[in-house]
Structure 1
């Protein structure tokens, strides 16, 4: 037993000794490493830390500049693509007001002629500014009895059709006057009693619809009627049904504040008809209507005044029919105005006159509020 105990004790002592040696070696290694780091620090040249910091700063700046270059490349490519898109979105210049006026000038020349070869030559010359040479040869009417005239105010625009590629088809209603002097001369010769009287031509007034195909040449920067005009017909019907008013769907106001609004409207339109711009700027903020009517019309009265809520609590929308009289004749006209009023310090000013955008934004806001309330009710139910 003693031998066994002695052996076991010796084994334990050996394990403890080995573990102590391991700890001792590890501590010596740590100490050696610390000494080596101290020696390295001492052996480092002056400015070592500054060089390290400089290198770090350099690489950070380099990466930053590289990032900026990439951002500029992608943004410029995006801008070029956007510019390419805008360049590709070409506006059809044949639809412009100048194109309509050019077509109207052409129609005026097309339906105006006299009888005789000399007039035919003049028409060929005039129409050559509108039609290609080959087309022009077929455009000149060669009637030997009837002459034709048309007033510019009798050429009425009815329809504009976009044909793309700087082409359009513009339709007019025209009232043409034809005169036949040959028929009048025959009547005179057959009636001896009227020999001393002048020849009265036969006259016919007719209404037609004509469609003019026009083209805008970008290179030569001019319009042209590229084909002969064609006759058509538009079935114009009377407007029986009512069209929804701009104020449809707005919240009406019917409380005591309407009396003050109505009183202001009377005062405002009196000033709007008579006062100068200097005075009107104090009550009208809308820059498009600060000239008022400049005494070209006289204020008579208001009819059918309706008042609605505006975007803000201090704003109101007023729709009213205004009776105005022409000063020299006294003839009365009824005009509809829609005003946006703002109340501040117990007085009203006019923010806008006939401004549809304000009303559309108000309606959009009300729709958004209704949708929001419906969403909130749906969340409560869930």
Structure 2
């Protein structure tokens, strides 16, 4: 019995062992590897912020560019609409001529009569700027002390208009006649009892001399309102085919009182004597830009001399009186000269009629 049970147990044990071995031979399927996707959210966020930032920057640039462009356009429009300096001071030559026509008649025509002289002065002063920054005093500006005759305007016409700093210089070619008394000795037949005899006696005759010069009139304006800026002056008529040379108002400076002052004053006397009497070509040795009155007027005197020392020499302002040769009507004019010195000799580098 026991043997049968032992054999039965052995069979069962053998059976379970065989089953276990077969099970061991069966391969277990391997576990599949799980693929974990990378976290790309950070990269996406950075990219989005970069795009947003770029868009914002481009938007700001576009706004700034638009504002700047609009500003430039507005500035261009303002500059385009803003009148230039030339336009601001532009004046009507026709209107100025109408204004000056009365002045020219009053200035050129001179009658040797005290009442007429006083009336002439008053009328001329009414044409002047209210406060003249000139050199001559008002009461002396149109003084005709010493005249010996009349001056009659024949005709005039506008010759040129030059634009200067702060005013326009109107140049008129004027033709006028000087009337002046001349003492002459004549022979007359008179009765001497029943006889006649010839005697000589002195008489005064009125003679005439016709002249033609340029009358230079500085004119200031504000729109269509005009005024004569300074005392007019005469010059010789020049050829319009020649070159036209066009000048800075100096600040107050100390006058020169050095050792050369007397020499400069003597030079001025000599220079203006020659300026009045000599030909233009004869002034070459005294002036860089020669000019003269060529004996049209006679020299009177130089006064109110002011000398200023400069880096290159001297600047001199002075008043000069000329006279009509026939009837001694005075013609007064302010001058500014730039002088240089070489070996003790003075030379006029520049001459201005102001």
TM-score (norm 1): 0.37
Q: State which structure, 1 or 2, has the greater radius of gyration over its C-alpha atoms.
A: 2
Higher relative CO (CA 8 A, sep ≥ 6), structure 1 or 2?
A: 2
* Structure with more strand by fraction: 2
TM-score (norm 2): 0.39
